[in-house]
Amino acid sequence: MTTSNCTVPDCTGNTHGRSYCGKHRDQIAKGHLPNQAPSRLVDSHDTRDLLIKLKAKHSMMQLGRLLGVSSRTVARAAAPANVKIERTLAESIRFIAGEVFEPAATIEPVTGADVAAFALTDAGREFIAKCRRPVARKVAA
**Predicted confidence (pLDDT) per residue in 29-66, tens digit:** 777 777 676 777 788 887 888 888 998 998 889 999 98
* Nearest alpha carbon to residue 85 among 48, 124, 136, 32: 48
- 84 backbone dihedrals φ, ψ, rounded to 5°: -95, 135
Q: What is the pTM of this model?
A: 0.50
pLDDT for res 3: 67
Low-confidence ranges of the chain (pLDDT < 50): none
pLDDT for res 105: 67
pLDDT for res 15: 82
Question: C-alpha dihedral over 123, 125, 131, 136, to 10 degrees?
Answer: -110
pLDDT for res 141: 59
pLDDT for res 37: 65
CA atoms of 112 and 57, how far apart (whole Å): 52
DSSP state of 115: H
Q: Are 92 and 100 in contact (CB under 8 A)?
A: no
